Amino acid sequence: MLRHLGQRLLTTIPTLVGVVVVTFLLTRILPGDPAAFFAGPTADPAAVEQIRVTLGLDKSLPEQFVAYVGDLLVGDLGVALSTGQPVVAEIAARLPASAELTLFGLILSVAVAVPLGILAAVRQGSWIDHLCRLLTTAGVSLPVFFTGLLFVYVFYFLLGVAPAPLGRIDLFASPPPHVTGFYLIDSLIAGDLETFRASFAQLILPGITLALFALAPIARMTRASMLSVLSSEFIRTARASGLAPGTVIVRYAFRNAMLPVITTLGMVFSFLLGANVLVEKVFAWPGIGSFAVEALIQSDYAPVQGFVLTMAILYVLLNLLIDLLYGLIDPRMRIEG
Amino acid sequence: MNRREFLASAAAVTTATALPLPWSVAFAQSRSETLLFVSENGPNNLDIHGVGTNRPGYEASWNCYDRLMSYGVKTLPDGSLSYDKDTLVPEMATEWTVAADAITFKLRQDAVFHDGTPVTAHDVKWSFDRAVTVGGFPTFQMKAGSLMEPGQFEVVDDFTFKVKILRPDSLLMPDLAVIVPAIFNSKLVKANATEADPWGLEYTKNTPAGSGAFKVEKWTPGTEVVYVRNEDWKCGPLPQLKKVIWRTIPSAGNRRALIERGDVDLSFDLPAKDVLEMAKAGKVKVASTPISNGMWSVELNVTQPPFDNKLVRQAIAYALPYGKIMDAVMYGRAKPLYGAASNVADSMEWPRPTAYTTDVEKAKALLAEAGYADGFETVISFDLGQALISEPTAVLVQESLAAIGIRSTINKVPGANWRGEIAKKTMPFMINFFSGWLDYPEYFFFWCYHGQNAVFNTMSYQNPDLDAIIDAARAAAAAGDTATYETKIKEMITLGYEEVPRIPLFQPSLEVAMQPTIDGYTYWFHRQLDYRGLKKA
Amino acid sequence: MKTLDTASDTTGAASSLPAAAPRQRPSGFKAGLSHLGHVAGENPVTGFAFALFALIVLTALFGPMLAPYDPLATDTAAALQPPSALHWFGTDQVGRDIFSRVLVATRLDLTIAVASVALVFVMGGLVGIAAGYYGGWTDRIVGRISDTIMAFPLFVLAMGIVAALGNTVTNIVIATAIVNFPLYQRIARAEANVRRNAGFVQAARLTGNSEARILLTQILPNIMPIMMVQMSLTMGYAILNAAGLSFIGLGVTPPTAEWGIMVAEGAAFIISGEWWIALFPGLALMIAVFCFNLVGDGLRDLIDPQRRT
């Protein structure tokens, strides 16, 4: 098992190297000149040049790359010019916010999509099946930023049932003591139900916005997977031997249909982590996505590189985790591996 | 009962009912002494001397530090408050004497920094040395008032400080009251300086080391800044606000929703349309102050034919859809800078309107006279960071140019690249905004028209005649020769408007919306918020 | 080698279910058509989707002729008017007729969608087939490229590409294609892989066809159906991607009418109550994406009802 893990880790190295190189090159061909941007409104060419030297931008590309990789190896991702803080600190502070939002959206989505998918598979071809397909497809048909703004308009501005879109927690409440960085979990650890409620309320709208987007892939995969399992021999046998239909579906069919669904969840999670850049922007969510977007617009290299690298590592770890889960769920994979 | 207990009890009450809404009921108490306001961007550095400090960073600096002098406050005809460029008032200095070769400041003897260290003339000297030495924006701004080298600054005794005058410059005194010459706690910063960073810029980036009216309690970059009042502030009356929370909300729509629903006290720098509609609705108070020494304009690069031809520039000035821009982009909330009787300046009014109006026939005739009866092709560029105003303007301008045969495409330049692009001076046709801190017309012309070709002379316009007039106006101002000064200023504006490398469109206003409970809002030249005078009922 | 396969399978499985045995598909245009009729009749949603698709294509073709106003003509006197008999969808900030703009934008949006899937089909599809058919080093290198792209947060990668190359329609198309590359490459690879030793391929080989010829004449036509499904699903994504780029200012340049940029521009007016500016282009966008997705499902039914997801 450990050897398998080690081998898997080794295969991810070329991917990470590729990500580092591509990101570096991509950020360098961005048309912006961070030196000019940060030199201030009245800077003359000399002042711009001075900042260029300060930032190390006067060196050749290979030199810059070597310097970058050298810093990377000691865990230094550079300083974000837009916030003035080290990128490592920024990401550490913002990643929990993004992860909490994404996980929340994912759980919400699973809670709706999996039952829908099972129902659609069991009643294949009926109106429930069609309705499920229409609903989930509608979810992926609108730009997330549009859905988000619409929600804010209706539920906050018009109806007043949602809290102000001011980020993770109400302004006059203080965040819970830092343990995991997830406000929901930290507030429970601290036993502070008020804070829990406040941060939960903040999560609802952005969470739903994200969840809508994830409905379709999860529901579709659940349905497809269920269909193929339901038509298999052992289910027919189970049915023929007179087990209750509910037992057959939940205990036998669903358990066996889980595998592809878990794979999809992994993909959807990494997809959502990327997609929530726009949701974060709409809801003033202090996550890494909105941070990276701003940095990209400002040609601020360090945060973009740091963000992409973090996401790539997350992605690799996630796939590793799914591999391991596979092994646990399906012993056949373990033998083959 | 502290806040948390209050929350708990409020929650206990609300849980008994249906769905608890802690965000709408619980926070009434602490709010009366706390100002909660929102804006689009937050600071990236709390020190204006820092490398690449952004505009919101200036605001932090303004409120956390003191300067020798500040500007007075006056009431404008519409009842709103504004800084008064003609009055300098004491801040850290209690009095000053101006001689031909130097200015001597007497400092307050009771002032202390946030950590309790007394403020002395040594701190002032160190701070000024820092400003003229670190390079970049602060050094540049100091230079605008002929403050160039550490040798100019002298400690006479602990509470007497002297600035030597290198050359006569009418902008020297005004420049000492802008944000840059702030007074830093030199002992504290020096203790936190390193060999690589002798001026301690890394330290002050995150930790203000001043004596100002507010202290930064917490700063979460990109999210919020929380200030608390400095109870020991000596340089003015103690502010009424005990706490200020400044939240960054990128979405303009959300900022409007927040202020309209009463969840925030003040929303800073809003689009004209929102302010217009909110003023009509009457639920919130709005303040709208014309941005001094600032204008939106169309800028034509005279090194790129056919814009080297004055007739072509005038043709464009007659083709622009001024009225449409005022209506559809600014919703009437700006001062028109077109349609005057003549381009000849007859007063010291600045910014003043040009004589151009939308006159397609005249534009066509001028274009034909210039030899471009069939028009030509060009590219209209603007800063994406200002898209709210410049994008619809560009669309309207593009359509009007088509009416006289000029075919154009639109080029959106992302905010970060804009400054780099204007520095290259290759864009032929720009829609742009400029405003100067120091509110003098020659200051505007010196940056935007003078042959020294500063970055803001986006038109690369170089005209020895105009340069001579600008230089003469500056010299007259320094010498105190009012009559010559006024003549030269009028000549300068007249020539600039006749030549029109830069076609003024309108002078925008700084728009602020606040709850009716907020009082004392004052407009400042730096276009950022001063918390010190704000009051909350 | 095995580990590499599982790596690709875990991520590629969304579209190619495990345990799908190679299957010969009946070809013939006529049979397909009658099958289409049958499927559409059987499944009303699919029938509806195909009809909608036809409508969108017709609008793209004839929209500019049908538009009551010039989509670029401003009229500031009539700015920000709500929907009325004169302006069915209202007018925007500078007084342009939104109905005309929505109609005219259909062509551009459809072009973006079709061009980007065509491009990614050519890039990802061919490379994927080659990887699956030849295996070995070709497969490994292609797989690594795909892995690298997949490891990027996709929207941010698209943003980066457009920001670096400039915001033109061409670059938006390229960025969308690159972002979708791994998906196409993996599907094509998996399908080619299971077929490389199929009977009909061996037959072709025995009759002396070159490898490249087999790839193009035997493998490619056989995996076309599943690629078609993927293409119609990705078309919707392409439009959404363009809309997202517009929201952060990297979309097409004004005054071009395009749904995404219209929604993005209109988003600023939602809170102030001018909902129609964003809503109608938003609806058009939604209907199109919706339709492409349903058509994709329908095509899948057409090919193989068993594998419908």
Query: A205-243 pLDDT, tens per residue?
Result: 999 999 988 888 888 888 888 888 877 777 778 777 777
Residues A108-129: pLDDT tens digits? 999 999 888 888 888 877 888 8
Nearest to B68 by CA among B123, B135, B141: B123
Taking 80 as the threshold, does the pLDDT of residue C297 lie above it? no
Higher pLDDT, C20 or B371: B371
Tokens at C217, concatenated:
């004449």
Distance CA A231, CA A219 (A): 18
Contact (CB<8Å) B411/C249: no
| Residues of chain B positioned with their CB less than 8 A from the CB of C270 | 253
Q: How far apart are CA C134 and CA C132, in angstroms?
A: 6
- Do the chains contact at B136 and A47, CB–CB below 8 Å? yes
Q: Is B215 helix (H, G, I), strand (E, B) or coil?
A: strand
Q: What is the ipTM of this complex?
A: 0.80
CB contact under 8 A, C253 and B252: no
Q: Are A83 and B44 in contact (CB < 8 Å)?
A: yes
Domain span at residue A48 reads 2-73
pLDDT band at A44 (very low <50, low <70, confident <90, very high): low
Measured between beta carbons, which residues in chain B are less than 8 angstroms from residue C249? 384, 387, 412, 414
**A79 in a structural domain:** no
DSSP codes of every residue in A280-305: HHHTT--SHHHHHHHHHHTT-HHHHH
Alpha-carbon gap, residue B453 to B449, rounded angstroms: 7
Taking Cα atoms as reference points, which of A29, A95, A3 lies closest to residue A313? A95
**Minimum Cα–Cα distance from B403: chain C residue:** C73
Look at residue C7 and tell me whether its pLDDT is greater than 70. Answer: no
- A120 and A247 together in one domain: yes
Residue C181 near residue C154 (C-beta atoms within 8 A): no
Greatest CA separation found in chain A? 86
Q: What is the arithmetic mean of pLDDT over A40-63?
A: 74
Q: What is the pLDDT of residue B15?
A: 37
What DSSP element (H or E) covers C42? helix C29-42
Judged by DSSP in three states, A205 sits in: helix
Give tens-digit pLDDT for B28-51.
446 778 999 999 888 888 999 987
Residue found under tokens 């990643």: A95
Inform me whether the C-beta atom of residue C264 falls under 8 Å from chain A C-beta atoms: yes
Smallest Cβ distance to B392: which of C93, C167, C267?
A: C93
Q: In whole angstroms, what is the distance from residue B119 CA to residue C96 CA?
A: 61
Q: Which residues of B touch C77 (CB under 8 A)?
A: 327
Residues of chain C in contact with residue A217, where contact means CB-CB under 8 angstroms, are 14
- Of all helices (H) and strands (E), which one includes residue B287? strand B285-290
Closest-CA residue of B relative to C251 is: B412
Question: What is the distance of C-alpha A322 from the center of its chain?
Answer: 15
The answer, yes or no, to whether residue C211 has pLDDT greater than 90, is no
Residue-level pLDDT at C173: 93
CB C110 within 8 A of CB C173: no
Query: Rounded to an integer, what distance in angstroms lies between the CA atom of residue B73 and that of residue C70?
Result: 51
Class of domain C39-66+80-307: mainly alpha
Q: Report the residue from C79, C253, C267 with minimal CB separation from B328.
A: C79
Which of B327, B399, B412 has its CB closest to that of C253?
A: B412
User: What is the band of A332 on the pLDDT scale with cuts at 50, 70, 90?
Assistant: low
Say whether residue C35 is in contact with chain A using an 8 A CB cutoff.
no
Q: How far apart are CA C65 and CA A277, in angstroms?
A: 38
Residue of A nearest to B433 (CA): A41
Rounded-to-integer distance, Cα B321 and Cα B334, Å: 15
On chain C, the residues whose CB falls within 8 A of the CB of A277 are: 153, 155-156
Question: Which of A:92-121 have CB within 8 Å of B?
Answer: 93
Q: What is the pLDDT of residue A306?
A: 87
Residue C6 — very low, low, confident or very high, per pLDDT cuts 50/70/90?
very low
Closest CB to A323 among C10, C164, C244: C10
- Note the residue count of chain B: 537
Domain boundaries, chain B: 40-244, 294-509
Residue B221 is predicted with a pLDDT of 83
Contact C254 B399 (CB under 8 A): no
Does one domain contain both A245 and A166? yes
Q: Which chain C residues contact residue B391 at CB under 8 A?
A: 254, 265
The rounded distance, in Å, linking the Cα atoms of A247 and B458 is 76
Name residue, tokens 């769905």.
B19
State which residue of chain C sits closest to A16, comparing Cα positions.
Answer: C148
DSSP state of B150: G
Higher-scoring residue by pLDDT: B298, C166: B298
C200 interfaces chain A, CB cutoff of 8 Å? no
Verdict on whether the full-model pTM lies above 0.95: no
SS3 A58: coil
CATH number at residue A274: 1.10.3720.10
Q: For A251-264, how does the pLDDT look when each residue is reduced to its tens digit (9 = 90+)?
A: 777 777 777 788 77
Q: Which of A27, A51, A73 is the last residue of a domain?
A: A73
- Which of A73, A108, A126 is the C-terminal boundary of a domain? A73
C-alpha C114/C-alpha C108 separation (Å) is: 10
∠ CA B49-B52-B56, nearest 5°, is 80
The answer to whether residue A78 sits within a structural domain is no
Distance from CA of A179 to the nearest CA of B (A): 18
Same domain, A17 and A151: no
pLDDT of residue A190: 83
Q: How confident is the model at residue A74 (pLDDT cuts 50, 70, 90)?
A: confident
- Taking residue B419's Cβ as centre, other Cβ atoms within 10 Å add up to 23
How far C104 CA sits from the closest chain B CA (Å)?
A: 17
Tokens found for residue B370: 């210039």
In the predicted model, residues of chain B with pLDDT beneath 50 are 1-29
- Are C90 and C75 in contact by the 8 Å Cβ rule? The answer is no
SS3 state at A177: coil
CB A337 to CB C2 under 8 A? yes
- A–B: how many Cβ contacts below 8 A? 173
The residues with which B430 forms a beta bridge, in sequence order, are B299, B381
Domain count within chain A: 2
Is A229 inside any structural domain? yes
Q: What is the arrangement of strands in the sheet containing B522-523, beginning at the earlier edge strand?
A: B69-75, B81-90, B522-523
Interface of A with B in 216-275 (CB under 8 A): none
Tokens found for residue C174: 């390229």
* Calpha distance B393→B325 (Å, rounded): 6
- CA C104 to chain CA mean position, Å: 20
Tens of pLDDT, residue by residue over C26-66, are 455 566 666 666 665 667 777 888 889 999 999 999 988 88
Give ∠ CA A61-A66-A72 in degrees, rounded to 5.
Answer: 120
Instruction: Report the top-level CATH class of B294-509.
Output: alpha beta
CB contact under 8 Å between A137 and C243, yes or no, is no
In 3D space, the residue among B521, B512, B525 whose CA is nearest the CA of residue B83 turns out to be B525
**How far is B491 from B344, CA to CA, in rounded Å?**
8
Query: Hey, is the C-beta of A280 within 8 angstroms of any chain B C-beta?
Result: no
| Residue in chain B lying closest to C163 (CA) | B414
Q: What is the pLDDT of residue C14?
A: 37
The conformational region for residue B167 under phi > 0 = left, psi -120 to 50 = alpha, else beta, is beta
The 3-class secondary structure across A83-96, one letter per residue, is CCCEHHHHHHHHHH
Average of pLDDT values for A24-45?
71
Best of A7, A15, A233, A277 to disrupt the C interface (most C CBs within 10 Å) is: A15
Which one of B27, B29, B44, B427 would you mutate to disrupt binding with A, by most A Cβ within 10 Å of its Cβ?
B44
Given pLDDT bands bounded at 50, 70 and 90, which one contains residue C23?
A: very low
* Residue of C155, C161, C272 to mutate, testing the A interface (most A Cβ within 10 Å of its Cβ): C155
> Would the CA dihedral through C207, C213, C217, C223 be positive or negative?
positive
> How distant is the Cα of B89 from the closest Cα of chain A, in angstroms?
26
Distance CA C71, CA C69 (A): 6
State the architecture of B40-244 in CATH terms.
3-Layer(aba) Sandwich (3.40)
| Pair B172, B198: CB distance under 8 Å | no
What residue has token string 């989707």?
C49
Taking all residues of chain C, what is their mean pLDDT, rounded to a whole number?
80
pLDDT in tens, B148-198: 999 999 999 999 999 999 988 888 999 999 999 999 999 999 999 998 889
The pLDDT of residue A320: 80
Q: Are residues A236 and A160 in the same domain?
A: yes
**pLDDT in the model for residue B93:** 96
Same domain, A291 and A195: yes
Average pLDDT of the segment spanning C82-92: 91
Q: Measured between alpha carbons, how far is A55 from A28 in angstroms, rounded to an integer?
A: 13
CB-closest option in C79, C254, C270 to B253: C270
